[in-house]
Amino acid sequence: MSVKVFSCRLWTNCFNVCKRPGRARAAAARVGQGCTRGYYNNSGRPGFTGPGGGASVRVVDLRSDTVTKPGPTMRRAMAEAEVGDDVMGEDPTVNELQKIASGMFGMESALFVPSGTMSNLIAVMVHCRERGDEMIVGDLSHLHIYEQGGSAQLAGVHATTVTTLPNGTFDLDQLESKIRHGYPDPHYPRSRLICVENTQNIQGGRVLPLSFLQEVRALADRYGLCVHMDGARVMNAAVALGVSVSTILQYTHTVSVCLSKGLGAPVGTMLGGPSDFISRAVRCRKALGGGMRQAGILAAAGKVALETMVGRLEEDHHNARTFAQALLDCDSPLFAVDMSAVETNILRFKLQEPGPSPSEFCARMAQVGEGEEEALGQGVPVLMYPHFGNSVRAVWHLGISADDTRLAVQKMQFVASEFMKETVRAC
């Protein structure tokens, strides 16, 4: 059956007819206009329902790049991994992974850690060695917002924030103003650490410019501070810039790099830094319950991730741009997209009034709607998350092909056309 492509152009006329002064989207209050506390705004895995429920259903899961699953090569490497007791330093596969990572990062040493949250917490604990020390973080950083305040809760480290700009950077004058002076004045904490995030998650996978990182490092050196990068997706940044990851990390003292996002491993993060830093990090990892025994089964997946999965990240970036361009080509005031901000695998786009809320739009995308199977040839539930500021967040990864992206575009067009019909009837 040929696939029908739905044009959104009638939205413009319909919007002009249906605008009402002061009409505000109720979901804005629920999601929080400009508020990041409702990051995903969901209460679990979104399901999909609707007519048919037939065999011809293709789910396109754009919720996060954390939903990837290891492929046959990675599973085989895990099954065949040589293992030992990693707490005793005797797991050969873990040791090899750590050597590979430190070489890639251009750092003296690296440590395999169960998660990115633990890795960031360890970095804070090592850099800020005394309770009451202070770190400077972006107000929209993952470390500050989505890691349960572990730095304060578990490490006794105080955080002061600088404004995260739309491109993921900070104003350097504001950053400098946050540095404490006069230690050991008993009134104030001691500044120890500056944390940056690359790519910047909340702002839509933005890549930090090398010039910015160079200036941050120069500022840190001037005041005797360290720079830690939450580099959960720094490999995406390296691919987007067309440089080695070590080129980026030359401006940081330490880094946390996730293996379990776009790189496709099921578990794990690499913490990189100087040898003395990693030696102290091993102690912190043990205290936090992160010391694993025959961890080579997991490290084998990390080796495959670092050695074979970095180059393919460009496919995710291309697919994200393809979908973003389709939103613009819809020629409708329903969607607002800044194409210059679509730099990697994360896409944030806004839904404008009048029209569906992000929650309504995501719910409709996740359903198999009436007439969808006839129009598209199959049901295509597309899973996304409502984001803050009346926006929707979608993330591409190795589980999403160019064909999946094409189907997601067709589903978006179908849903937009259905909203258009409903708006016309309401007029």
Q: Residue ranges of the domains in the chain? A: 10-61+312-426, 72-308
Give yes or no on whether 10-61+312-426 and 72-308 have one common fold.
no
pLDDT (0 to 100) of residue 52: 47
Which pLDDT score is estimated for 6? 41
pLDDT at 144: 97
pLDDT of residue 212: 98
CA distance 240 to 246: 14
pLDDT value for 83: 98
CATH of segment(s) 10-61+312-426? 3.90.1150.10
**How far apart are the C-alpha atoms of 207 and 398, rounded to whole Å?**
20
At residue 236, the pLDDT reads: 98
The token pair at 66 is: 């954390």
Q: What pLDDT, on the 0 to 100 scale, is given for residue 298?
A: 98
Residues 6+ apart with CB under 8 A from 329: none
pLDDT of residue 332: 67
**pLDDT of amino acid 35:** 40
The phi, psi pair for 332, rounded to 5°, reads -135, 145
Which one of 3.40.640.10, 1.10.760.10, 1.20.1090.10, 3.40.718.10 gives the CATH number of domain 72-308? Answer: 3.40.640.10
Query: Tens place of pLDDT for every residue, the chain, 427 residues?
Result: 343 344 444 444 444 444 433 333 333 333 333 444 444 444 344 445 554 445 589 999 999 999 999 999 999 999 999 999 999 999 999 999 999 999 999 999 999 999 999 999 999 999 999 999 999 999 999 999 999 999 999 999 999 999 999 999 999 999 999 999 989 999 999 999 999 999 999 999 999 999 999 999 999 999 999 999 999 999 999 999 999 999 999 999 999 999 999 999 999 999 999 999 999 999 999 999 999 999 999 999 999 999 999 999 999 999 999 999 999 998 667 899 999 999 999 999 999 877 789 999 999 999 998 889 988 999 999 999 999 888 999 999 999 999 999 999 999 999 998 887 766 666 6
- pTM value? 0.88
CB atoms within 10 A of CB 219: 16
